[in-house]
Amino acid sequence: MAGRVEGKVALVTGAAKGLGEADARALAAEGARVILTDVDTQAGARIAGEIGGVFKQQDVTDETRWQTIIAEIKAEFGALHVLVNNAGIVLPGTIENQSFKRYQLEIAVSANGTFLGCKYAIPLMAESGGGSIINMASVASKLAYSAIVGYAAAKGAVEGMTRSIAAHCLESGYKIRCNSLHPGTINTPMVQNFGRQSEDFTVAAAPDPDTEAPNAAEVGVLGVPRNIANVVVFLASDESAFITAQEFVIDGGMSMLPAPLVNALQ
Ligand SMILES: NC(=O)c1ccc[n+]([C@@H]2O[C@H](COP(=O)([O-])OP(=O)(O)OC[C@H]3O[C@@H](n4cnc5c(N)ncnc54)[C@H](O)[C@@H]3O)[C@@H](O)[C@H]2O)c1
């Protein structure tokens, strides 16, 4: 039986660990030819080897590297149908204690990296008959978290540019859809490292990433990367052909619960 993204060529940034790794694995399992990129060459190359994908070293803030990678994909694969702009970083800090340098770094990776990815991938995707762009935002662009001001700003930029890019693709007749994902708290190296920096946050009760993804009924647990990868496969596939310029909040209902209830359940 054909996979859900059989025959598609997919590029996933930040694919060496966490959500990007899960997205790359899920897309490959459903038949896509996957190009994985990351600054972490060792882990990226290992995962690419495990799933039959191709790894390319990439810092998503480097404009020239984006141009080279898209040209290489055109030469090696002849097409590009799916772009997952997943790479991102979080550097905790409030508006008063965050340095401007750290703020700019968060903007550079999440916001500028996504801008560059879309800018240089769209011509090849259009030439390939269209496809799907999936931009990784966060619930941080929707909720009020004092401790991650730069991250919230970067993800807000991703959210806004996603709608503009979707409109541009529609107006241009490209058949390229563009949507943003807004995960809640998912058990990845990013969250584990963040947890170490914050006294009121623990990942001790996190589910094993290899276990089945928790469902929304299990309030208060961390999500697992597969919760996000399932939606990535859906948006990459033709099953979502009529969906563009939308935001997908994937947080087990966390952002919809009034704070006192969330606290009572913890
Ligand atoms: N984990 C969560 O709870 C959560 C929630 C909401 C949104 N997100 C977003 O999902 C994405 C993935 O998060 P994660 O939790 O898997 O993070 P992670 O830190 O576990 O993994 C991120 C990967 O991106 C790579 N990366 C970092 N900077 C890069 C750069 N400049 N160029 C290329 N690659 C780079 C890292 O090497 C790493 O492999 C991020 O955009 C993050 O903001 C995560």
Name the residue of 190, 222, 231, 254 to mutate for ligand 1: max ligand atoms within 8 A of Cβ.
190
How many domains are contained in the chain?
1
pLDDT of res. 258:
73
Q: For residue 1, tell me if it sits in a domain.
A: no
Q: What are phi and psi of 153, to 5 degrees?
A: -65, -45
pLDDT of res. 214:
60
Catalytic residue among 103, 120, 151, 174: 151
Q: For residue 2, tell me if it sits in a domain.
A: no
Residue 205 binned pLDDT confidence (cut-offs 50, 70, 90): very low
Q: For residue 3, tell me if it sits in a domain.
A: no
Q: For residue 67, tell me if it sits in a domain.
A: yes
Instruction: Look up the domain containing 177 and give its range.
Output: 9-265
Q: Which CATH number do you get for residue 45?
A: 3.40.50.720
Nearest-atom number in ligand 1 for the CA of 192 is 20
| Ligand 1 within 6 A of CB of 185 | yes
Whether 151 is a known active-site residue: answer: yes
pLDDT of res. 197:
62
End-to-end CA distance of the chain: 43
pLDDT of res. 254:
87
Average pLDDT, the chain: 92
Q: For residue 30, tell me if it sits in a domain.
A: yes
Q: For residue 4, tell me if it sits in a domain.
A: no
CA 191 – ligand 1 centroid, Å: 9
Q: For residue 128, tell me if it sits in a domain.
A: yes
pLDDT of res. 266:
61
Q: For residue 37, tell me if it sits in a domain.
A: yes
pLDDT of res. 202:
43
